[in-house]
Amino acid sequence: MAGSLSGMVGDYLFEQRIRADRSQMEALAVRIAPSLYRSDAAALQDQLSSAGGELGGRVLLLDRYGKVQLDSYGEMAGVRLQYPEVVNILVRGQSGDYGVHALDSGERLDTSRLLFMRRPDTGWVGYCTAGVVHASDVIGVLLLVSPVQEMMQNLYQLQDQMVLIFVLIAAAALLSALIFSRVITNPIAGLMRGIQRMAKGDFSARVKIKASGEMKQLALAFNSMSEKLETLDQSRNQFVSNASHELKTPLATMKIMIESLIYQPDMDKELRTEFLSDINSEIDRLSNIVSDLLTLVQMDSHNVKLTRENLSIATLVKENAHRLQPIADQKSQQIQLTLSDPCDIYADKSKLNQVIYNLMENAVKYTQSGGVIRVALSRQGRDAHLVVSDNGPGIPKENLPHIFDRFYRVDKARSREKGGTGLGLSIVHQLVLLHGGSIRVESEEGKGASFIVDLPLHQG
């Protein structure tokens, strides 16, 4: 590219020189034509010498066969010259020509191949010819031989500069391509690596956010997605390990008791019955855990269907109070109901029942003997507002955020001995959400707990 560019510039420079030389040569040719025709040697010699001085070169006059007739330097008379510039006029009938030749080899310069004809040591000389015409007959050729060394030098310099500029431009292009690829390709490659790691199950993959604009948004979205997947993955693992642990405990207890029964055949009847009833209650626990787990798994996979019907929440509360009354009586607890509205709702009866039962059962279960359990139901705007509160031990502040988590129990040992699975509240939470409602807890340690449920009475 640099070569062809400098060739173009070279052509332009030559063009100027050629035009100047040629017009002068043509003028001279016209001037000397009559003298040549007349073969007036003295006049020709005069005209040539003066023209040579004017043109700053050596002027030669050739006859129609290319033989030198006159030389302004007076040296080459009689020599036959076969330069292409001469031949072009004599044979091809051109009116004039111009060429630059190497002094040593005589090779004609081709400006488009300037880069490859670079010979700084070679002298260069320009040949400018013009036909001398008389009565439309070429009767001779004028040849101007002029040094073009200086012009060639300029051309070489120009060429050097162009090659340098070209190299610089190429380097700049390369550099910008590199930067471009760094800015565009690297973040994409980083994201790809992240996705591949994630595809292999490594959810800790994050991409570095070095990009800007859309790439940055993409990286941020990817990171937040992988973060969520990681949490999900962790909580699933946690859930599975909790579930296994919960199932293992009653199994281990049962194994010990059964082994005692096997290896102590002469155990007294009373103890034996006690062991068997313990085993029986462990089996109940196991089946409770399993059915709670099933409920949760079903809700997780989003394939729970609500079988809705018209019902009154107040009625459900009364029924559950009735169910729990015997246990409350045993603990000399009071259950106080304040039902200011029937709160008719179109909802899934067994699921709402589960919500109310779990909350009330917790209150009865965790409140000390002689405590009071209050259940208040009212209408607040379009919602049913249910509050189940007690004056039991309450829930410590640090446990409150986890109270609806699966298997979460404030006092593990106490809850287990009361037959709890730690799944009740998380099921309640899910069921309330399924009905489009919300649940929250308010509690202060030692001052009891209140569970507050809001359920929309009209769907949509």
Ligand X SMILES: Nc1ncnc2c1ncn2[C@@H]1O[C@H](COP(=O)(O)OP(=O)(O)O)[C@@H](O)[C@H]1O
Residues that bind ligand X (CB under 6 A): 358, 362-363, 366, 390, 392-395, 403, 408-411, 415, 420-425, 449
Looking up tokens 């379009």 gives 382
Per the CB < 8 A criterion, the answer to whether 375 and 360 are in contact is yes
Q: Toward Mg ion, which CB reaches closer, 58 or 285? A: 285
The minimum distance between CB 285 and ligand X, in angstroms, equals 10
Cβ neighbours of residue 4 closer than 8 Å, sequence gap 6 or more: 112
Distance of alpha carbon 85 from alpha carbon 343, whole angstroms: 116
The minimum distance between CB 259 and ligand X, in angstroms, equals 28
Show the tokens assigned to 30. Answer: 């016209």
Cα dihedral sign for 81, 82, 87, 91?
A: positive
The minimum distance between CB 288 and ligand X, in angstroms, equals 9
Q: Toward ligand X, which CB reaches closer, 33 or 403? A: 403
Distance of alpha carbon 99 from alpha carbon 92, whole angstroms: 16
Distance of alpha carbon 232 from alpha carbon 234, whole angstroms: 5
The minimum distance between CB 223 and ligand X, in angstroms, equals 33
Q: Position 214: which residue type?
A: E
Q: Is 458 left (phi over 0), alpha (psi -120 to 50) or beta?
A: beta
Candidate list 190, 394, 424, 437; residue touching Mg ion; CB under 5 A: 424
426 binds Mg ion (CB under 5 A): no
Residue nearest to ligand X (CB): 420
The minimum distance between CB 265 and Mg ion, in angstroms, equals 39
The entry of Mg ion, ligand X, none near residue 410 (CB within 5 to 8 angstroms by kind) is ligand X
Show the tokens assigned to 390. Answer: 């007690």
Q: Toward ligand X, which CB reaches closer, 212 or 336? A: 336
Q: Toward ligand X, which CB reaches closer, 382 or 402? A: 402
Round the CA-based radius of gyration of the chain to a whole number and report it: 55
**One symbol per residue from 350 to 379: x for binding Mg ion (CB under 5 A), - otherwise; what is it?**
------------x-----------------
The minimum distance between CB 305 and ligand X, in angstroms, equals 24
The entry of ligand X, Mg ion, none near residue 411 (CB within 5 to 8 angstroms by kind) is ligand X
Which stretches of the chain bind Mg ion, using CB under 5 A? 362, 424
